[in-house]
Amino acid sequence: AQSVTQLDSHVSVSEGTPVLLRCNYSSSYSPSLFWYVQHPNKGLQLLLKYTSAATLVKGINGFEAEFKKSETSFHLTKPSAHMSDAAEYFCVGKSGGSNYKLTFGKGTLLTVNP
Amino acid sequence: DTEVTQTPKHLVMGMTNKKSLKCEQHMGHRAMYWYKQKAKKPPELMFVYSYEKLSINESVPSRFSPECPNSSLLNLHLHALQPEDSALYLCASSQDGGAGGWETQYFGPGTRLLVL
């Protein structure tokens, strides 16, 4: 079965500095991986997804993630944080054998300080 | 357009009330989902409909009753809920076109439910 681990429950950065949100996965086969963002009292918005076509995936709002099979990681980065990036971020994988079931990480709360 | 809409945005109900949550999508998706999300936790899957048939029920109590009247609409009927059922209820949809793991689920904004 696939599992997803977000290594930090809370990350705090200053506006204009880089963002790194870490995610490791475990899977016995090529995984499907996604990053979603959830702003307070809102639904989940897809930032990007790994489709095996390219290891570096570009998403919306300047975010990107790199799939590293050797490190079983799928870390999310952004060169320069904006105040509007403050939100909860979920690294998500697809459970083995199911087209429907997602495996969610526990989430990382990103705080952006002025 | 990748929009999933949900109504109402907020709902307060007593433990003896009957209410319904509504979800709608016009992306032609054939899989629709209900999730429950407690504060500071990831969403938990409740139900999945595939081609308007219930495909997955994650052992959800019978006080939650899903319904999929057509391919665009998904309801969640609520009856005799408990205070611990207070949560954000999220609807999602995906294409269900056989692409399996690569399909993306698109989420609605959620209904914030408070059970008194």
- Tell me if B54 sits within 8 A of B47, measured CB to CB: yes
Mutate to test the interface with B, among A100, A101, A103, A108 (most CBs of B within 10 A): A100
More confident residue, B36 or A95: B36
Whether the pLDDT of residue A51 is over 80: the answer is: no
Rounded CA-CA distance A76/B15 in Å is 42
Q: pLDDT for B2-32, tens place per residue?
A: 699 999 999 999 988 999 999 999 999 999 9
- Name which of A32, A43, A49 is nearest B107 (Cβ-Cβ): A43
Q: Are A102 and A92 in contact (CB under 8 A)?
A: yes
> A interface toward B at CB cutoff 8 Å?
31-32, 34, 36, 41-46, 49, 51, 90, 94, 99-102, 104-107
DSSP-derived pairing of the beta strands A108-113 and A10-14: parallel
Give Cα A27 distance to the centre of its chain: 16
Tens of pLDDT along A97-109? Answer: 677 889 999 999 9
Cα gap B87→B92, rounded to integer Å:
16
Q: What is the pLDDT of residue B102?
A: 66
Structure token pair of residue B79: 């009856």
pLDDT at A94: 82
Alpha-carbon distance of A49 to A34, in angstroms, equals 4
Res. A8: pLDDT tops 90: yes
pLDDT tens for residues B67-95? 999 999 999 999 999 999 999 999 999 98
The yes-or-no verdict on residue B62 having pLDDT over 80 is yes
* A24 three-state secondary structure: strand
Question: pLDDT band at B99, cuts 50/70/90?
Answer: low
pLDDT averaged over chain A?
Answer: 91
The two structure tokens encoding residue B83:
């205070």
Residue B64 to residue B78: CA distance in whole angstroms: 5
Res A31 pLDDT > 80: no
